């Protein structure tokens, strides 16, 4: 899940996005929740490290993690000077039969998840950069598959047969998060629409950064194209996956929650006449109202170690309130 700002405008504040994306976890039995929360916690940690490095013009935190993780995989031990020992020990405990000298016969599900984790780390290294340029829709598809698709395949309760559908759902999830976060991202001069698509509608990334895109005649046409041509076939694949009778209960909950979230994003965009600045305010109000119908989510949180104030990790408690 692609977590970010709870206020829709600050990359480092993540509480409400956590709830928006993952509060369905409260409906799992406690034993199942632990494994899901662990893996989401790892993903969030990597996301925060890469985000922190990008905002500060460095790659130290993320690169150090990758180096320590590779050492764990090859040497079978966690470095004593690793700044991310907690996460490394958690991963080692989960995938202990696949790393280091203690490799033994493994469960196919764990092997698949570990492979997806490696793809996710590579995708983060590739796409978390301020000079990112996506030329074509094929480039965009590769990015959301590498990030969201790999991310979803790291999650628990998947076998190889279900993993293909999970990957498609993850890529779609990444795409909807880009729509949801247009205001936040463009404030940081990030625009994920491919250049060929922008060119087709007479737009540039600078139009998005300067908030002049709303005055351009091609803007609404671009969003219409995205919502009604690009997304529908991809959403159909996700809906087909969600209807599978052999989905584990956890994935059924995830699919139902996510598809409902995608519809809320589209509805709010339309209600705001596709003005993503207005959307950022209205959508989080919608989320709070939505959560009122799910009172169990009021206590939902994921504790994330956040790289702040020059330190690699500090505890950050995430609560429902923005």
Tens-digit pLDDT profile for residues 256-283? 999 999 999 999 999 999 999 999 889 9
Residue 97 has pLDDT above 70, yes or no: no
Residue 70: predicted pLDDT: 81
Quickly state the pLDDT bin for 296 (edges 50, 70, 90).
confident
Highest mean pLDDT among 33-37, 243-247, 292-296: 243-247
- What percent of the chain stands above pLDDT 70? 75
Complete domains list, the chain, with CATH: 27-294+308-316 (1.10.600.10)
Q: How far apart are CA 17 and CA 6, in angstroms?
A: 5
- Residue 292, classed as helix, strand or coil, is helix
Residue 316 has pLDDT above 50, yes or no: no
Q: How far apart are CA 59 and CA 14, in angstroms?
A: 21
State the Cα angle at 50 between 123 and 206, rounded to 5°. Answer: 85
Quickly state the pLDDT bin for 241 (edges 50, 70, 90).
very high
Nearest in space to 5 (alpha carbons), one of 206, 49, 140, 18: 18
- Contacts of residue 161, defined as CB under 8 A and 6 or more positions apart, other chains included, come to 246
Nearest in space to 149 (alpha carbons), one of 169, 121, 122: 169
Nearest in space to 255 (alpha carbons), one of 190, 158, 141: 158
Residue 82: predicted pLDDT: 57
Residue 304 has pLDDT above 80, yes or no: no
Residue 34: predicted pLDDT: 86
Q: How far apart are CA 145 and CA 303, in angstroms?
A: 26
Quickly state the pLDDT bin for 2 (edges 50, 70, 90).
very low
Between 291 and 167, residue with greater pLDDT = 167
Return the CA Rg of the chain.
19
Structure tokens at 17: 């996005």
Nearest in space to 140 (alpha carbons), one of 52, 221, 230, 219: 230
Interaxial angle between packed helices 108-127 and 137-144, expressed in degrees from 0 to 180 and rounded to the nearest 10? 130
Nearest in space to 69 (alpha carbons), one of 51, 95, 47: 95
Q: How far apart are CA 239 and CA 37, in angstroms?
A: 24
Q: What is the DSSP string of 27-66?
A: GS-HHHHHHHHHHHHHHHHHHHHHHHHHHTT--HHHHHHH
Quickly state the pLDDT bin for 229 (edges 50, 70, 90).
very high
Residue 293: predicted pLDDT: 80
**Whats the size of the chain, residue-wise?**
322
Quickly state the pLDDT bin for 90 (edges 50, 70, 90).
low
Residue 226 per-residue DSSP state: I
Residues paired with 316 in a beta bridge: 304
Please count the other Cβ atoms lying within 10 Å of the Cβ belonging to residue 136: 12
CA dist 305 → 3, 4, 44, 283, 302 (Å): 14, 14, 9, 27, 10
Tens-digit pLDDT profile for residues 99-133? 544 444 455 667 788 889 999 999 999 998 878 88
Residue 80: predicted pLDDT: 59
Tens-digit pLDDT profile for residues 194-219? 999 999 999 999 999 999 999 999 99
Residue 3: predicted pLDDT: 32
Residue 200: predicted pLDDT: 98
């Amino acid at each position: 899940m692609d977590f970010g700002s709870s206020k829709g405008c600050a990359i480092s504040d993540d509480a409400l996005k956590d709830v928006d994306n993952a509060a369905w976890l409260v409906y799992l039995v406690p034993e199942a929740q632990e494994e899901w929360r662990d893996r989401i916690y790892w993903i969030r940690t990597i996301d925060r490290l890469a985000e922190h490095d990008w905002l500060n013009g460095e790659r130290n935190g993320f690169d150090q993690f990758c180096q320590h993780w590779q050492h764990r995989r090859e040497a079978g031990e966690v470095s004593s000077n690793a700044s991310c020992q907690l996460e490394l020990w958690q991963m080692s405990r989960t995938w202990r039969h696949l790393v280091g000298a203690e490799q033994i016969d493994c469960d196919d599900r764990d092997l698949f998840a570990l492979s997806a984790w490696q793809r996710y780390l590579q995708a983060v290294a590739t796409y978390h950069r301020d000079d990112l340029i996506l030329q074509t829709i094929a480039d965009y598809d590769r990015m959301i598959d590498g990030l969201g698709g790999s991310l979803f395949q790291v999650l628990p309760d998947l076998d190889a047969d279900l993993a293909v559908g999970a990957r498609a759902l993850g890529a779609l999830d990444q795409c909807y998060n880009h729509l949801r976060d247009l205001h936040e991202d463009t404030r940081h001069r990030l625009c994920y629409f491919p250049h060929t698509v922008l060119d087709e509608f007479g737009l540039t990334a600078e139009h998005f950064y300067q908030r002049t895109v709303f005055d351009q005649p091609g803007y609404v046409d671009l969003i219409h194209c995205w919502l009604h041509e690009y997304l529908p076939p991809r959403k159909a694949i996700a809906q087909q996956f969600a209807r599978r009778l052999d989905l584990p209960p956890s994935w059924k909950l995830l699919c139902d929650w996510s598809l409902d979230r995608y519809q809320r994003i589209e509805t709010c965009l339309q209600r705001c006449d596709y003005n993503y600045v207005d959307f950022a305010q209205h959508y989080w109000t919608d989320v709070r109202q939505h959560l009122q119908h799910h009172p169990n989510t009021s206590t939902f949180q994921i504790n994330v170690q956040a790289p702040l104030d020059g330190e690699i990790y500090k505890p950050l408690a995430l609560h429902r309130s923005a």
